Amino acid sequence: MNTYRGGVGLGVAGIQQPVPEDTTPRTRCGYKPNDVVASFQKAFLEAGAYSTGRCLHFAADLVCSGGTSVFSRLLWDFALTHVGIASPRVFVYLRQRIADLEGILKRFPDDVAVAQEEFQKRVGELVIVLREAPRRTAITWPKVGSETHDGSWMRATLTEAVTETAAVRIVWRPEGDLSLLRTAGNYLCRAIGEGSTEKALFWVKWLLEEEVLTRKETKGASLSTIDRGPATLSSRQRRDVSFFIIQLYGEIYKELAIKGVVRMNEEFNALVTLWCSPPKGRGATAKKQILALLTQILCEVPRWKVPAAPALIADPIYISNAVKQVPKFFGEVLAYEPVKQPHLLLKCFKTRGTVDGSAAKKAKAADAVSDKMSAMDAALAAYFGGAL
């Protein structure tokens, strides 16, 4: 049925028919849920106090509409994609602060929690600290050609003998691991020793792909029969090659830490914990990003002048002053009527992907939402005139 802007359409008999009303649930400020997500992501990538204000506005609307879990996932996405190795401390910080938010929500109903200044400031601090964090775009994984999984490729190509490492001797177990794991593990260790992130990621990706191919060809068999994963997983999941890689990385890290060339115990452990329990809805993607970060730490940090995570917050006074303004943004949002059915709204939020220069449609939608905020522009400038 053809429609036009007047709100009616022409049926097959030429009779005007009313256009169905958009029944998509709206946030507390009246935005479509995906528009809020896209606008928040877009503003997060933009610099300046004005964009900080927009981030805080959308964050307040999101959590006041029952989307605290969505807000948390967006922060994890940003940290993994745009911060990463530039500031590994961010993952320790996020774990602690998001746990604080969840703790408040466990003690109080959502409508009571979002009205508390403590909760509001914690939300605002998360936004401001991540916006101020050093940035480094997530690394691109190397290509692994299908020919490398042919049985003859390793024999024909990898003619240079590789010394078995102490880490592989500890992790590889002859009673249940294929010899292929030992060979690939040794090449992975050598790449890390050389400081070659690209080569190391090649072998990580090769192992992950080889596991998939092996399961297909053998109808379920793995590269190992050793249970390395937690007992909460199925036997098949516990034997996944990714646990072999994680254990290998743990042993390599211990060696580097003993030598004093890496001092990131808390950060490394936080990433491993996050890999084991990634943000809900981000399992496979987050696991791959975290594996890349762990690889970068092992390859790159030993070559840093100071092999420790730099401070996450460079200017605590700036952060403190900015956080004091956050309750004003919540006040604007809380002035609107509460969402009547937040559980229905929560189902409509989608956080897959990010808004960047190539995502023209999402950016256009985000700009449309921003236009709706024109009445608040003066207030935004006033809120942050002296703080940011």
CA distance 189 to 166: 10
For the segment 140-167, what is each residue's pLDDT rounded down to a tens digit? 999 999 999 987 887 777 767 778 899 9
Locate the DSSP E strands across the chain. 2-3, 8-10, 16-18
Main-chain phi, psi angles of 16, to 5 degrees: -65, 135
For the segment 315-354, what is each residue's pLDDT rounded down to a tens digit? 999 999 999 999 999 999 999 999 887 778 877 876 443 4
| CA nearest neighbour of 43 among 27, 61, 28, 25 | 61
For the segment 257-286, what is each residue's pLDDT rounded down to a tens digit? 999 999 999 999 999 999 998 887 677 889
CA distance 170 to 184: 15
- What are the residue ranges spanned by the domains of the chain? 33-134+310-384, 146-303
The model carries a pTM of 0.85
